[in-house]
Structure 1
Amino acid sequence: MKKYFFFIALIILFAVNSYAATIDDVVVEGNRRVPTNTILKYTVNPGDEFSLADIDNSIKNLFSADIITDVKVDMRLSDDRLILAYVVKEKPYVNRVIFNGNVELKTSVLNEILVPMTGQVIDSRKVETNLKIVEDKYHDEKFYSVDITAEIEDRGNNSVDVVYLINEGVEAKITQINVVGNNHFKRKEILKEIETSEKGFWSFFTGSGKLKKTELAVDMEKIKAMYLREGYAKIQVGEPRIELSEDKKKIVLTIVIEEGLRFKVAEVEFEGYKSVEADALRETTKLKTGDWFNVEEFQDDVKRVTAKFTDIGYAYANVNPVTILNDESQTVSVKYQIEENQLVYINRINIRGNTKSRDRVIRREFDLTEGDLYSSSLITASKNHLEFTDYFGEVRLSETPVASDKVDLDVDVTDKMTGMFSIGAGYSTVDAVTGMVSLTQKNLFGMGYQTTLKAEFSEKKADYTFSITNPWLFDRPYSLGFDLFKTDRSYYEYDKESMGAAVSLGHQLIKRKLYANYRLRYEVIDINDIDEDAAKIVWEQEGESTTISLTPTLRWTTLNHPQNPTAGNKAVVYSKIAGGIFGGDNDFVKIGLSYTHYIPLFWKFVFMGNFEGGQVEAYGGKDVPVAERYRLGGMYSVRGYDYGDVSPLDEDGDRLGGVKYDQMNLEVIFPVVESAQLMGVFFIDAAQSLTSNEQFLSGDVYKSYGAGFRWYSPVGPLRLEYGVPVDDPNGEDPSGKWEFSIGGMF
């Protein structure tokens, strides 16, 4: 009894008097899942002076932490020590989340989109958030009459199940889209711009009529951008109205637009600059006086003006655009306030992350060096050059200021596998089953050497090639390459065996764009095993002969990617001169050219057009060698035909190969699964192989069409294409032909 009397007296003493006692210890009781240390973060601490106000605040903090449902604080005395005990009742943990009533959407789909709750302390905010997430998912799937409620079911052992009761209702689709307030653009122009669409006949296949709120918000911004490009600087696109029919199956969507006034550009002024001529700045901007005020073009003009200064060393140039709208005259005055700031120089180029590629292989791709004046365009171009080498999986370039007038360029790269092991296969009436094995390394020893070891073989063919090229001889923009080759091939009427070697030297004429190459080739050719009904010209070339040739080539390229370009062009012009001063048995001149252009189309579709042609002519009273004649057909010329099908015939009806050819390949390339780099392609091919008496683009044209897939897969590039010839060269009914190749990286 004395003990309890003392305890009560102590409480009164603490509460009423100014006497200050010290808390000797703090303990937690009743918790089973929440760690004691977690709860102690919110309690008073041992050593603190006893204060009812502090204890009250600690209780409030515990409730605010949302980890308990109840708490009381006991004061205890033990051996003259004051102990505070926080006796808590924990919030229950979520045992599992259950969906009842879902039919159209699988439980696995719904679980994927939830904010995680299982195994955590129940949180009413998460329960409500997940209810809204599930509801939005149903709305995206056209179930706008869905009704969802959440219930908490006790499972004992301080755990609960969160149960979502779902009444899916009926499926609804957009049957009508109204546009209100539009005068400048017609309704069909606006609907063409956005993804949201009315239900069509093929909606079950195309997905038309589906209403997704996130997509709808993006569509409203697209409509706004349409008007901003046309000078409507004050355009307003309201929140679209969504109306459900009584049966909840039809949606009427109403888009409300307030166009406002349309503005033209009054004048364009520049101020605060001194290092660039005014005329140069005016040429830089696209918006001119009298143009409709295109907001997107205006934003791009700000970037272009800024780049005009960052490109000449003013790395920290700042362009502040000021626009003044005059409603009365419906004009916009544009002023660019320019702060050039200080000239900046490149201090160091720091290269990091390269475990294989040598530093110099990276440095030589830069168009500026340490000590040079800062240039934003050259820095961007240098990054593009590094990516174009295809040596790296990732290239990141950042800038670190080291002084008021100096910056370091930090180049972070990740080496990737640049070796490729390729296996290809095909079938034709000429070669039957054909196989190909190739080992290629684009960055040998990390020095940028390009090497290839290749073998093609079939019942009628065996080709072996080894080549090595240094694209930067002595780290200068010169290339040096060597080739060794041996080829055995059985054609319709004869067999050809050849072996030899070649050396090539190249250099840049216009940096990064125009290249010249000179190739000296020595080849020994043996024509044998000739069929009795072979063309006369083949019999005349029976036996062994030597060809020594020089081939100068000009190559132009502006492609934006070495493997999968989407823009730019490539052109090649060459001349092969054999015999004469070079010696050998064969005397001829061969010329050719090709041009390839990539054009981005709508969405991510890309058009590719390839046009090429060539001609070979003998001199010194000799015939054009059979091996130099044009025999076309196959994956890389006219798909759907076998190699050699596209060829002129002699008087006996035998294919002898042309001395002229022209070829066209048109393709539309598009992503099928973009994340997996799976591309689709539609193509049309056409080509001719002509005699010396025929003119280009005259005579028979062999055409084909088809489609296929290209996949830059984890094991390497895969190409699968099906070509259908329009006319069969043998006079039979044309039939299609598959061709494919696949490779792997190492």
Structure 2
Amino acid sequence: MNKTSKILLPFILASSVSATQIKEIKFENLARVSEKIAFETIDFKVGDNIDITKIDNTLKKFFQFGYFDDILVYEDNGVVTLSFKEKPSIAKIDITGYKTRDDDKKVLYTMMGIKKGSIYSKQRVEKAKKALLEELEREGYLGSVVEIDIKPINEYSLALEFQVNKGDSIILHEVNYQGAQNIKRSAFEDVTANKQKESFSWFFGRNDGKLRIDHLDYEHHRIRDLYFQKGYLDAEVKSPFLKVDFNSNHGKLDFFIDEGIQYSVNSITIYLDASILDPQTLYKDLKLQEDKTFNIERLRSDVEFIKTSVADLGYAYADVDYDLRKNTEEKTVDVVFSVVPHQKVYINDVYISGNTRTLDRVIRRDVFLAPKDLFNYTDYKDSINALKRTGHFEDVNIEQIRVSEDKMDLLVKVTEAPTGQLILGGGYGSYDGFMLNAAVNDSNIFGSGKDLGFSTEWSRRRFDLELSLYNPAIFDSQYSGLASVYRREREIINNEEDSKRQINGIVFGAGKKLTRNLRVGSNLKYETTKEKYKNTPSLDLDYKTVSVIPYLNYNSTDDYFLPRKGMELYSSVEVAGLAGDAEFIKNQNTFKYFYGFDDKFDYDAIFRYKARLNYLNDLGFLPRGETFYLGGLESVRGYESYAFGPGLYDKPYDMMFSNNLEMTFPLFPKAKMRWGVFYDYGMIGRGTLTDIKRAGTGAFLEWNSPVGPLQFIFAQPIGDKPGDKTSSFEFSLGSRF
């Protein structure tokens, strides 16, 4: 008997129930559904005669909520009572025998589709168990067993414990590529996840041989694609054959390959209506070249290039097909591109979603397509990158919603990032001792896009305090504005003379956005400086600096916190001497380049390069505080900040160059944690860059935490000399590469 027939039994036994008029309706033991919703759910009301069919339909509706184990219906003198037995909720979840860290378990719970507060059901728990077993298998644990322990806490809640008995992890001691003659094993291992175990497998960069079952179904496709990249268009690769010895947990994996012949490109033809775009203008920019070995990656790149070129003219729905016409006797292939542009597409409307804080107009000013505009694919991609560069959003996606043959809507979907930051950082050095820095910053105050910040830095030899406000788009225009006030104090310990320097300053600036990636501007700076010498008061100085600082800033990166492609260039020239006491020219240049390998190798490794080149020219009076220094997080790691600078009676260093190379790799992607290695090299001198040369190397951990970017740096100096101020560990919160 089903639940519905069971609960209707009291009505079936009542001979005159159908003639009874309902005087009142009551609900018992109803917690998860409000009475208002309950009354909206029932198919009857006070004054109706009891109708078994309506009651049956009502019960079916309640069971569809998924909250109830049983429902009983009673009638007493016209009072109809619905008594509910609700399913218990899951108050506690735990996994034993697998993944001990709470953060790892949270990721597992999400993957299993189960969480605290969920309604318990046998189906939900079995589904979670299945997902957990699949995850164990994906990690190479075959034959795992998961048992579920259900412990009631009270009438309304229970605790779940998934008890894991991990199966054996299979290690591949042999991987064979049967039939491979023209491609080396190392090339296969670059594209596959299952690799033969190497000696010293525990060492960085060596293959551990662990079987990754979830990748097995894709490995032969990856190898076949590798052959296509090398021009072997007839290559056939069968699904791998896995043999496991469960006594030793050793595995053997065999790939069976028929390479075929290698093709070179004979000719390339593009069929495209010349009235839309002359195809002759495209050939010079194609990656594929005649008389060169065919490469499927270059073909895909050419398809994207042709599609972008046509889409930039408004043909958003253009199709680019290709045909490969092989000549096996000549070992050549003719590549034919056929382009069907369809109709030009215009923007119908632009919608913004996901922004609970950021104003719509702040987002729209970085969307380079507006209603009635002709679609342009470059504008579309640049809009996504520009929004990511603001640092206001964790994720940005712009959906193209087709309205008609010649119209589309754009739906800009953003996930807002926490832009208000409480930044804490510090380190230790033999010179400064313990160093602490703190800042309260909001780069999107009140959702307006304005950046308001307050920062301070303290150690036994320095103190900094600064308040600043930056508006990147005054009245949503192309003009920007800056205002900043600051105080800087330095205690300088020198073998020749100890001194203290105090600087109070104010900066006003204005800029203009010339293109979507290029901004120019100029800042006006006014400073008062007091220098006091402990034992030689005659050296005391009290002077003013008034300078103008024109600058150029180019930024084409695709993200603010973690760029994977693009470059940054900043160049400024500070000219002091129009007023005040100081007279000098200081030129500072910074270049950054980012390249991600995700598209190429399906692995989120990122190469980063940064170079700084600075030049200083004394025009009469050059304050000591304007000299260049080398060492620290901003130049050469492995040495203290300002480790290399001039002595008290020395001329200032007027030239400085440093470059930093990094490779970063994912550590815990869901937690936004990465690790990496670096090499730094820097030079500094007077009229030359060869006076002092130092290098450093090491590793680091970085985490884009809720309070800002956090880095732990473990460094080792290279080529250091006796007396150098070295530093093996530093941490920083709030600074980016």
The question of a shared fold, defined as TM-score above 0.5 by the shorter chain, is answered with yes
Match of 1:605 in 2: 605
Task: Tell me which residue corresponds to 1:526.
Answer: 530
Q: Which amino acid aligns with 1:227?
A: Y
Q: 1:738 aligns with which of 718, 724, 729?
A: 729
Q: Does 1:497 align with 2:492?
A: no
Q: 1:220 to 1:592 in 2, by over 3 A?
A: same
CA distance in 1, matches of 2:364, 2:166: 62
> What is the deviation of 1:349?
2.0
CA 1:339/1:617 → structure 2, altered by over 3 Å: closer, same or farther? Answer: closer
Give, in angstroms, the shift of residue 595 of structure 1.
2.3
Secondary structure of 1:489 counterpart: strand
Tell me, yes or no, if structure 1 residue 322 matches structure 2 residue 287. no
Secondary structure in structure 2 of the residue aligned to 1:583: strand
Q: Is the 8 A contact 2:137 2:213 kept in 1?
A: no
Contact 1:468 1:482 in 2 (8 A): yes
Matched, 1:615 2:618: no
Partners of 1:440 and 1:450 within 8 A in 2: yes
Q: Deviations over 1:343-390 (max 9, x none)?
A: 222222223343322222222212233222111221121122112112
Aligned length: 614
Kept in 2, the 8 Å contact 1:430–1:643? The answer is no
Deviation digits for residues 609-640 of structure 1 (CA, Å, limit 9, x no counterpart): 32223232322xx4411111123333223333
Question: Whole-Å Cα distance in 2 between the matches of residues 32 and 212 of structure 1?
Answer: 46
Tell me the residue number matched to 2:624.
626
Question: How many Å separate the matches in 1 of 2:441 and 2:225?
Answer: 48
Q: In structure 2, do the counterparts of structure 1 residues 519 and 279 end up closer, same or farther at CA, with 3 Å as the change threshold?
A: same
- Provide the rounded CA distance (Å) in 1 between the counterparts of 2:670 and 2:146: 37
The residue aligned with 1:159 is none
Contact 1:135–1:148 (Cα < 8 Å) also in 2: no
- 1:409 to partner: Cα distance: 2.0
Q: Deviations over 1:386-438 (max 9, x none)?
A: 12112223323223344443222222334332121112223334433332221
Q: CA separation in 1, counterparts of 2:667 and 2:246?
A: 39
Corresponding residue for residue 91 of structure 1: none
| Match in the other structure for 2:549 | 551
Asked if structure 2 preserves the Cα contact closer than 8 Å seen for 1:346 and 1:369, the reply is: yes
Map of 2:712 onto structure 1: 720
Helix, strand or coil at the partner of 1:596: strand
Name the residue aligned to 1:90.
Answer: none
Distance verdict in 2 for CA 1:631–1:656, change over 3 Å:
farther
Q: Which moved more, 1:582-591 or 1:282-291?
A: 282-291
Alpha-carbon spacing, 1:264–1:522, altered in 2? closer, same or farther (3 Å): same
Contact 2:487 2:503 in 1 (8 A): yes
Aligned CA distance change for structure 1 residues 445 and 229 (closer, same or farther; 3 Å): same
Q: Give the Cα–Cα distance (whole angstroms) in 1 for the partners of residues 260 and 224 of structure 2.
A: 12
- Matching residue within 646, 663, 684 for 1:668: 663
Q: Which residue of 2 aligns with 1:412?
A: 413
Q: Distance in 2 between matches of 1:369 and 1:328?
A: 54
> 1:92-136 CA distances to partner (integer Å, 9 max, x unpaired)?
xxxxxxxxxx99999x99x989999x964899xx99x99999699
CA contact (8 A) 1:224 1:235 kept: yes
Q: Could you tell me how far 1:727 is from its partner in structure 2?
A: 6.2
Partner deviation per Cα, 1:618-668 (whole Å, 9 max, x = no partner): 22xx44111111233332233333333201336xxx677523323233333
Counterpart secondary structure, 1:680? strand
1:282 — aligned with what? 283
Amino acid at match of 1:502: V
Residue 163 of structure 1: aligned partner: none
How has the CA–CA distance of structure 1 residues 627 and 229 changed in structure 2, closer, same or farther, with 3 Å as cutoff? same
CA displacement, residues 514-568 of structure 1 (integer Å, 9 cap, x when unaligned)? 322211111111112x133x7xxx954x232111111111223332322222333
What amino acid sits opposite 2:729 in the alignment? W
Identify which range, 284-293 or 550-559, moves more after superposition: 284-293
* Compared CA separation, residues 35 and 557, structure 1 to 2 (3 A): farther
Paired residue type of 1:208: D
Structure 2 residue 668 is the aligned partner of structure 1 residue 679: no
Q: TM-score, normalised by structure 2?
A: 0.73
Counterpart of 1:595 in structure 2 is 591
How has the CA–CA distance of structure 1 residues 412 and 260 changed in structure 2, closer, same or farther, with 3 Å as cutoff?
Answer: same
Match for 1:578: what amino acid?
A
Check 1:445–1:338 CA distance in 2 against 1; reply closer, same or farther (3 A cut): same
The amino acid across from 2:529 in the alignment is: I
Alignment of 1:261-300 (within 5 A): 261-271=261-271, 273=273, 274-283=275-284, 285-300=286-301
Deviations 1:2-35 (A, max 9, x none): xxxxxxxxxxxxxxxxxxxxxxxxxxx3x57998
1:224 matched residue in structure 2: 224
Rounded Cα–Cα distance in structure 2 between residues aligned with 1:617 and 1:357: 44
Q: Distance in 1 between matches of 2:113 and 2:347?
A: 48
Equivalent residue number for residue 636 of structure 2: 638
* Identity score, percent: 26
SS of aligned partner of 2:443: strand
Equivalent residue number for residue 58 of structure 1: none
- Using the TM superposition, give the Cα deviation of residue 738 of structure 1 relative to its aligned residue in structure 2, in angstroms: 2.5
User: Aligned equivalents of 2:359 and 2:167: distance in 1?
Assistant: 64
Q: 1:698 aligns with which of 666, 690, 699?
A: 690
Structure 2 contact 429–727 (Cα < 8 Å) conserved? no
Change (3 A) 1:271 1:34: farther
Change (3 A) 1:238 1:553: same
Contact 1:228/1:235, CA 8 A, preserved across alignment: yes
Q: Secondary structure at the match of 1:445?
A: helix
Alpha-carbon separation, structure 2, partners of 1:414 and 1:149: 36
Distance across 2 between alignment mates of 1:498 and 1:613: 25
Assess, with a 3 A threshold, how the Cα gap between structure 1 residues 34 and 721 changes in structure 2: closer, same or farther: farther
Q: 1:647 touches 1:690 (CA, 8 Å); kept in 2? A: no
> 2 CA distance for matches of 1:503 and 1:183?
67
Structure 1 unaligned residues grouped into runs of 5+: 1-28, 38-101, 151-165
Report if aligned partners of 1:727, 1:734 keep a CA contact under 8 Å in 2: no
Cα distance change, pair 552–521 in 1 and its aligned pair in 2 (3 A): same
Deviation of the 1:248 alpha carbon: 5.5
Equivalent residue of 2:310, what SS? helix
Measure the CA separation in 2 of the matches of 1:439 and 1:546: 29
Query: Who wins on radius of gyration, i.e. which is larger?
Result: 1
Structure 2 unaligned residues grouped into runs of 5+: 9-95, 115-119, 148-163
Counterparts of 1:255 and 1:675, CA distance in 2: 33
Q: What's the counterpart of residue 212 of structure 2?
A: 212
For the residues of structure 1 that align with 2:538 and 2:195, how far apart are their CA atoms?
A: 69
User: Partner amino acid for 2:672?
Assistant: Q
Amino acid paired to 1:238 = K
2:404 pairs with 1:398: no
Partner of 1:517: 521
Task: State the SS of the aligned residue for 2:653.
Answer: coil
| Alpha-carbon distance change, 586 to 475 in structure 1, aligned in 2, over 3 angstroms | same
State the Cα distance separating 1:444 from its structure 2 match. 2.2
Taking the aligned partners of 1:714 and 1:557, their CA distance within structure 2 comes to: 25
| Conservation of the 8 A alpha-carbon contact between 1:480 and 1:505 | yes
- State the match for 1:174 in structure 2: 172
Q: Distance in 1 between matches of 2:297 and 2:410?
A: 31
Cross-structure match for 1:85: none
The correspondence for 2:582, drawn from 583, 586, 590, is 586
